[in-house]
Amino acid sequence: MTEIRRARPEDIPTIAAFTERTFDWGDYVADLLPGWLDASDGAVFVAVDDHDVPIAMARGTLLSPTEAWFHAARVHPDHRGKGIAGELALVLTGWASERGADVGRLLIEDWNEASHRQVAKTGMRPVARFHRAERAVGEASVRPEGNGGRRVARPVRTRLARSAEAPAAFASWSVGPLARRARNLFARGWSFRRLRDHDLVGAAKEETFWEIGSGWAIVRPSGASVEVGWVETRPDEAFGFLWGLVDLATETGREELVVWLPDERWLTRAAQQVGFETRGMQVYTIEL
Ligand SMILES: CC(C)(COP(=O)(O)OP(=O)(O)OC[C@H]1O[C@@H](n2cnc3c(N)ncnc32)[C@H](O)[C@@H]1OP(=O)(O)O)[C@@H](O)C(=O)NCCC(=O)NCCS
């Protein structure tokens, strides 16, 4: 058994050093760690060696009173393959359960074989697949017509939706194919939780709830990007709907549009036709 304790500010340099080259592009952990240690809605745990030096970390947060999210699992390259991430996961699930969560989830990209193997050992099960669809928009876009092809969809009307429309949008989604595929989850940033009708009311108040043709979406500016974490559309309208999102993102003057798509073939195919690059990911879940 490896010793596991809460992370402290003095651990930051050690963690920053062993996460410097986690991925080809580096890692975001060192930048975000100071804020995570100050935040009250989450906890960072570290596994330490015999000298109390961190050799692994992972973080949990509560996305709602009953839903936990686990992420940022990082094991020092010299200590991988020893089951340490699994030991951290046990501590995190205990932490979340003590705080009232009855479910915990996490996200793994398709390419990350080590992570898929690791979480399978902890009793988590795959619950929903999503595709992260990314496309440059506005001046950053070198191919405004998508895939070099012709834009055949007529522009759809996009307008801010009102809270009064939330029940209709929620009902449409709940009985349609997308909620089923998404297992009622939606994205915010890189995390997922269950959508409730009051989330759409909240989005209307924040002016992020949009009517796109006869569908709806939650559209949030995020840095240089526009992020769409929830979509409700139908197969015969998906192409025009996605163009509507491109138009909307272009109007904001941002450079990139990111749309989280539930794993429906007609939807990912429409996204590719509109010029999005898509990457598959799996949400895993565990009952606490
Ligand atoms: C994913 C990660 C957290 C797993 O942690 P871990 O403590 O090594 O997990 P495990 O010991 O259970 O090993 C999991 C799998 O890693 C692979 N693995 C084993 N030894 C390894 C090593 N020395 N180096 C790299 N991967 C190794 C194996 O596929 C193993 O599965 P198996 O036991 O069924 O053969 C760790 O590899 C890591 O930090 N990766 C980089 C960061 C990352 O991808 N985080 C997750 C983002 S979602």
Structural domains of the chain in order of their starting residue, each with its CATH number: 3-101 (3.40.630.30), 131-282 (3.40.630.30)
Residue 19 CA to ligand 1 center (angstroms) comes to 14
142 falls in which pLDDT band (50, 70, 90)? low
| pTM of the full structure | 0.95
Structure-token pair, residue 102: 């009855």
Looking from the CA of 227 toward its CB, the CA atoms found within 13 Å total 14
Atom 23 of ligand 1, residue of closest alpha carbon:
80
Q: Can you give the pLDDT at residue 152?
A: 58
| Ligand 1 probe mutation, 23, 29, 75, most atoms within 8 A of CB | 75
Per residue in 81-132, pLDDT (tens digit) is 999 999 999 999 999 999 999 999 999 999 999 999 999 999 999 999 999 9
36 falls in which pLDDT band (50, 70, 90)? very high
Strand positions, DSSP E, the chain: 3-6, 42-48, 54-64, 67-75, 103-109, 125-136, 158-160, 185-188, 191-194, 209-212, 215-222, 225-232, 256-262, 277-287
Residue 67 CA to ligand 1 center (angstroms) comes to 25
Structure-token pair, residue 151: 């834009």
**Nearest atom within ligand 1 for CA of residue 109:** 48
C-alpha span between 217 and 92 (Å, rounded):
32
Is it the case that residue 149 has pLDDT exceeding 70?
A: no
